Structure 1
Amino acid sequence: MTMHIARRSLLAAPAAALVPALAPSAAQAQAPVADPRLGERSAGKAEAPAVIEYFSLTCSHCADFHNRTWPQVKSRLVEPGKVRLVWRDFPLDQIALAAAVVARALPAERYEGFISALFASQDRWAFARGADNIAEIAKIAALAGMSRAQVDAALADQALQRGILEGRMKGQQEFNVSSTPTFVFNNRPTPGAVSFERFAELAGVSAS
């Protein structure tokens, strides 16, 4: 069955309205447990200064940064330990939310590879006319070891969706994020894709 997701924007809705009103169980209400799927997803050494990227998997500017600039940032700044890049979800529409849910459901060590594959093939799964969005996302998830049944289970997990949307709302409140990508350098938000040189300058590190 073809599953084409309506590209409903999440920007038009009030921030609080984005989060599904789910009633927690009595056990959850008494002792909330942190969901490891919503933990930090990052690349780099733990002690390195963090740069935060708020991104949407259906954002073409995010894809351009990830496909063109991120390889340089990774090899010249992240791997030498100059910075750590922290990815934070800021889905712009329902398709991006679905992709973020699947990405978060994967083991943390497979996260970067999966979002890289999504960005590299964004035109096919996110924008192709009449595309079965979920089937295309599932094909990429299969390469990361995730079955279609696991993809469907993740997409049905309202608590995971809620956690992602709460993180998005926190980005709006904390750093006034309203577009993607938005990078946060030393607690200073910078909207828009940046070149490698500009990234290094804003991070306060040598680009050499």
Structure 2
Amino acid sequence: MAGLVLPVPPARATELVEQVLGDPAAPVEIIEYASLTCPHCAAFHTETLPALKERYIDTGKAKLVMRDFPLDQSALFAAALAHCAGPDRYFAFIDALFSSQSRWARAADPKEALLQLAQLGGMPREQAEACLADEALMDAILQVRLDGQNEYAIDSTPSFVVNGKKLTGNHGIDNFAEVIDAAAP
């Protein structure tokens, strides 16, 4: 991440709808800050999240709030497309992005690879192109990153905040269980 400078979005950036997996009223809130080009984030989503979901999210004990923390332009574009997929398809699109990350993130033209992935997911190309041209959306995503830096001192991905307790890096289910169980009422 050293050397990456992202523009500071204007104060009037569009507000993003918070993406929540699980019961919004669940007593334990797990906030994830992730970059869609981060291999450790992909590992969390493919290896740890299924167990976390089964044990805590599907049972109503915890909810996962996904927040964007793009580390590069490809991650910013991917996050924008996920938001443009809509709330009903957001997490399915995130799963597709993480499971195919090695293909699109390393492609000669990652933007084109993302556009093709969006089309495979049912998004018309014109909608995907308009999404990537939406400066207000890009500014809103960058604002989420800035807010994470300011509020929780997030500086790497994946980073998690479990009921106020910050965890950095990809942790296994046992580490999450310890933190979640301690945070549960």
What is the TM-score with the length of structure 2 in the denominator?
0.91
- Hey, what does 2:168 align to over in structure 1? 191
1:164-203 per-residue CA deviation (whole Å, 9 max, x = no partner) reads 0011000000000000000001212111001011111111
Question: Bigger radius of gyration, 1 or 2?
Answer: 1
Give the residue type in structure 1 aligned to 2:160: F
Is contact 1:10–1:93 with CA below 8 Å preserved after alignment? no
Segments of structure 1 that go 5 or more residues without pairing to the other structure are: 1-8, 25-31
- Hey, what does 2:20 align to over in structure 1? 42
Give the residue type in structure 2 aligned to 1:19: V
Is contact 2:9–2:143 with CA below 8 Å preserved after alignment? no
- Hey, what does 2:179 align to over in structure 1? 202
What is the TM-score with the length of structure 1 in the denominator?
0.81
1:114 Cα deviation after fit? 0.4
Is contact 2:9–2:140 with CA below 8 Å preserved after alignment? no
1:20 Cα deviation after fit? 4.3
What is the root-mean-square deviation of aligned Cα atoms in Å? 2.1
In structure 1, what is the Cα distance between the partners aligned to 2:137 and 2:96?
A: 21
Relative to structure 1, the CA distance from residue 10 to residue 18 in structure 2 (aligned partners, 3 Å threshold; closer, same or farther) is farther
Q: Equivalences for 1:1-208 in 2 at 5 Å?
A: 12-13=4-5, 18-21=7-10, 35=15, 38-48=16-26, 49-128=28-107, 130=108, 132-204=109-181
Segments of structure 2 that go 5 or more residues without pairing to the other structure are: none
In structure 2, what is the Cα distance between the partners aligned to 1:11 and 1:117?
A: 29
In structure 2, what is the Cα distance between the partners aligned to 1:97 and 1:41?
A: 16
Give the residue type in structure 2 aligned to 1:102: L
Is contact 1:101–1:160 with CA below 8 Å preserved after alignment? yes
**Bigger RCO (CA 8 Å, 6+ sep):** 2
1:143 Cα deviation after fit? 3.2
Is contact 1:54–1:87 with CA below 8 Å preserved after alignment? yes
Q: What's the secondary structure of 1:50's corresponding residue?
A: strand
Greater mean deviation of Cα atoms: 133-142 or 84-93: 133-142
Give the residue type in structure 2 aligned to 1:45: D
1:47 Cα deviation after fit? 1.1
1:21 Cα deviation after fit? 4.9
1:135 Cα deviation after fit? 2.2
Give the residue type in structure 2 aligned to 1:148: R
Give structure 1 regions of 4+ aligned residues with deviation exceeding 4 angstroms. none
